[in-house]
Amino acid sequence: MHAALRPLGARIAALILAISPSLALAQQTQTDTTGVKPSQEPLFTSRDAIYAGAFTVATIALFPLDKKIAQNLQDKHNQGNRFFHHQATNFRLVAQPGAFAIGGAMYLGGRLAHNERLADLGLHGTEAILVGLGVTGAIKGTAGRARPYMGTDSPHNFKLFRGFTGGSDYSSFPSGHTLTGFAAAAAVTAETHRWWPHSTWYIAPVMYGGATLIGMSRMYNNKHWASDVMMGAAIGTFAGRKVVQYHHSHPKNRIDRWLLGATIVPNPGGGLSFAFSATPRFDK
């Protein structure tokens, strides 16, 4: 391995090791709702407070390392690696707009094929991303943190509410792209766990691993600090898990009634249109 890449590999490995244990712990304690009856577990429990605390501690622990990690990633040898540049772009596009395109395709495909599970996955995954982005947007605006490309020597450049007026340059914390990846990962893992509980062992590593690479790509592109990525992962994970849990503990909520009850039908004059039912089937 090139000498300049060794520090980069160490920082990336440290980030993965910081994120993975909390995600694994959260995933192992997911409620198994494979039965017909909705889950009766409260939406928020004491375990959630523990996970939130763990993520908060991990984020705070990364603040002193933000400068060193950012400067290492911007080293001319690391930035001169064409493979890293191409893959960073690919992972960014997978997150946004890719996640919305994939989620929309799953939802529409599920409605066309009358596949409730596929439509469920597309709808709830997309909803989790939107919920997470709403939360992140509020935090970004309030925190007003300068992005690393404004100066990698100033990781603590926060100013209250500056993110609402300073534009993208001051909306670094937390990472929206990372949130998108982790929200999709959490939603997909939670949904598939309901149908095939044992699939979690291979679906979770693939989904969360991909989400971690999205976060790393944002750091490599000098768009986010490591602590931005950690907090984006935390919010995304909670958004994905809680959206899925809510919908399957409230199976007749309005969003599911309207959108999962929709079917795509041919128009008399050609083309397709949506038809909505007020009382769709719920046979999940």
Q: Which residues contact 262 (CB under 8 A, 6 or more apart)?
A: 111, 274, 275, 276, 277
More confident residue, 28 or 44: 44
Q: Is residue 36 part of a domain?
A: no
| Cis amide leading into 280 (omega within 30) | no
Burial class of residue 62 in the structure, from the number of CB atoms within 10 Å of its CB (0-12 exposed, 13-18 middle, 19+ buried): buried
6-12-15-20 Cα dihedral, nearest 10 degrees: -120
Tell me, yes or no, whether 186 lies in a domain.
yes
At residue 169 the predicted structure's pLDDT band, cuts being 50, 70 and 90, is very high
How many domains does one find in the chain? 1
3-state secondary structure 51-82: HHHHHHHHHHHHHHHHHHHHHHHCCHHHHCCH
Whether 89 maps to a domain, the answer reads yes
Answer yes or no: is 255 within a domain: yes
Residue 62 resides in a domain:
yes
Mean pLDDT, residues 145-155 taken together: 95
Torsion over CA of 83, 176, 47 and 16, rounded to 10 degrees?
Answer: 20
The answer to whether 263 and 274 are in contact (CB under 8 A) is yes
Higher pLDDT, 128 or 41: 128
* pLDDT per position as a tens digit, 227-280: 999 999 999 999 999 998 888 877 666 665 555 555 554 555 655 554 544 444
Instruction: Give domain status of residue 9, yes or no.
Output: yes
pLDDT at residue 186 in the model = 92
pTM value is: 0.81
Tell me how crowded residue 131 is: count the other CB atoms within 10 A of its CB.
20
Between 54 and 137, where is the model more confident?
137
Q: Is residue 37 part of a domain?
A: no
* Predicted pLDDT of residue 18: 52
Residue 271 lies in a domain: yes
pLDDT of residue 164: 95
Mean pLDDT of 90-95: 84
Coil, helix or strand for 266? strand
Q: Residue 58: which domain range?
A: 5-25+43-275
